[in-house]
């Protein structure tokens, strides 16, 4: 048997195994009542290849088939008789990014969210302000609000870098999933809202959710010492409910975060501190690079705009001008 043939055979064996597993799961889930045959409304809790888990009000969760592009948090119409999602209801907000392997494909992360909690740690893994800057742009575009959550404060209490974000009006909370410090403030900030936990792998997203919802038992990882990088323990985004009405979507960690369809012209609008000063630039379409009488560059010189944020703006501007998806 040739190598190609062996590969193909393995692929079909694995596919058949997966289908058998899914069929077993379907047969184990309970039957849902669906009085009007047009379908009933449901909330998407997690998404897998060709299927998803949905939550039907008052009836619990079940697995069903889906060929539509959906994300946790989506509201969908589900045909119980066929166990299939037939329609996605209009989204209030959507957080997405380009597929890391093909930047022309949009990957949805979560839908209908009110708050994106950008979880970061200072020491292990180390803080990456560049990743926060990119998340903040994606959040501005999503329609949701941002919240920066500095976790693992038991390891390092100092983090002057995040003060920059507080100064531009972004709420910043400090907490520790291990000691419980700051968790009450975090849970109060999320009450009644649909939220997504985003951020680099290993920063403690799943640990935070476990601490907020005891009994959930989400898998967490250890940060590998060799690279101080988190391992990907959470493999798919999933939705969980807290007692105070908060609905929280845990996401797999990411190492790089590209931006979906941001243009050079609009980029400045996604930096709140640049947006404010830009109205005073000499040119209405000022890109704040070489132009004379640029209020943004003056702002950088006077310290009104943090130099690392301006540097992030310039770096991303160069990439979007070249249409490079990873910044
Ligand atoms: N010291 C300390 N370790 C934490 C804290 N939160 C999480 N961790 C550890 O960090 C590692 C990664 O956590 P995990 O929740 O899997 O991160 P995720 O990839 O962002 O979901 C685990 O070993 C956790 O025990 C914290 O507040 N303090
Ligand atoms: Mg995780
Ligand atoms: Zn300017």
Would you list the DSSP string of 12-45? HHHHHHHHHHHHHHHHHSPP---SSTT-EEEEEE
Question: Rounded to whole angstroms, how far apart are CA atoms 28 and 39?
Answer: 21
DSSP string covering 263-312, please? -HHHHGGGSHHHHHHHTTSSSTT--SSS-SS-HHHHHHHHTSS-HHHHHH
Per-position DSSP letters for 105-144, written without gaps between them: SEEEEEES-SEEEEEEESTTTTP-HHHHHHHHHHHHHHTP
Closest residue (by CA) to atom 13 of ligand 1?
Answer: 204
Q: Which residue's C-alpha comes closest to atom 9 of ligand 1?
A: 204
**What is the 8-class DSSP label of residue 154?**
T
On the question of pLDDT at 222 being above 80, the answer is no
pLDDT at 29: 47
Domains of the chain: 34-90 (2.40.50.140), 94-250 (3.40.50.300), 264-322 (1.10.40.50)
- Residue 111, pLDDT > 80, answer yes
Residue from 111, 107, 116 nearest 73 by CA: 111
3-state secondary structure at position 52: strand
pLDDT tens digits for 158-181?
888 899 999 999 999 999 999 999
What's the gap in Å between 198 CA and the centre of ligand 1?
A: 14
The more confidently predicted of residues 41 and 24 is 41
pTM of the model: 0.84
Distance 295 CA to ligand 3 centre (A): 5
Which ligand is nearest to the Cα of residue 280, counting in written order?
A: 3
Q: Is 254 in the pocket of ligand 1 (CB under 6 A)?
A: no
Cα 121 to averaged position of ligand 1 atoms, centre (Å) = 9
The top-scoring range by mean pLDDT among 45-59, 173-187, 250-264 is: 173-187
pLDDT over 90 at 297, yes or no: yes
Nearest ligand for residue 230 CA: 1
> What is the rounded CA–CA span in Å between residue 138 and residue 132?
10
pLDDT at 25 over 80: no
Helix extents (H) in 74-216: 129-142, 163-167, 183-190, 205-212
> Ligand 1, closest atom to CA 177?
27
């Amino acid at each position: 048997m040739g190598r190609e043939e062996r590969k193909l055979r393995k692929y079909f064996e694995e596919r058949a195994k997966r289908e058998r597993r899914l069929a077993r799961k379907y047969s184990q889930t309970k039957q849902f009542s669906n009085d009007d045959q047009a379908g009933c409304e449901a909330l998407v809790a997690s998404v897998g290849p060709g299927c998803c888990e949905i939550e039907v009000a008052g009836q619990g969760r079940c697995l069903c088939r889906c060929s539509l592009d959906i994300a946790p948090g989506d509201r969908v119409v589900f045909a119980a008789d066929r166990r299939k999602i037939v329609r996605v209801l209009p989204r209030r907000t959507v957080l997405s990014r380009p597929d890391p392997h093909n930047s022309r494909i949009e990957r949805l992360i979560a839908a209908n969210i009110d708050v994106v909690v950008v979880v970061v740690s200072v020491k292990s893994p180390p803080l990456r302000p560049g990743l926060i800057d990119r998340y903040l742009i994606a959040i501005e575009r999503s329609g949701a609000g941002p919240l920066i959550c500095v976790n693992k404060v038991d390891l390092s209490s100092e983090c002057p870098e995040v003060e920059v974000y507080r100064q531009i009006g972004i709420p910043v909370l400090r907490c520790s999933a291990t000691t419980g410090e700051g968790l009450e403030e975090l849970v109060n900030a999320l009450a009644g809202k649909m939220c997504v936990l985003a951020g680099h792998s290993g920063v403690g997203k799943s640990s935070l959710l476990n601490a907020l919802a005891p009994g959930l038992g989400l898998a967490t990882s250890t940060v590998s010492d060799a690279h101080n990088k988190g391992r990907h323990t959470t493999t798919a985004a999933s939705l969980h409910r807290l007692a105070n009405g908060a609905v929280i979507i845990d996401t797999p960690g990411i190492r790089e975060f590209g931006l979906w369809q941001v243009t050079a012209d609009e980029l400045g609008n996604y930096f709140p501190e640049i947006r404010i000063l830009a109205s005073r630039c000499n040119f209405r379409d000022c890109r704040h690079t070489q132009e004379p009488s640029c209020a943004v560059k003056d702002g950088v010189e006077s310290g009104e705009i943090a130099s690392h944020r301006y540097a992030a703006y310039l770096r991303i501007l160069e990439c979007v001008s070249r249409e490079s998806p990873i910044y």
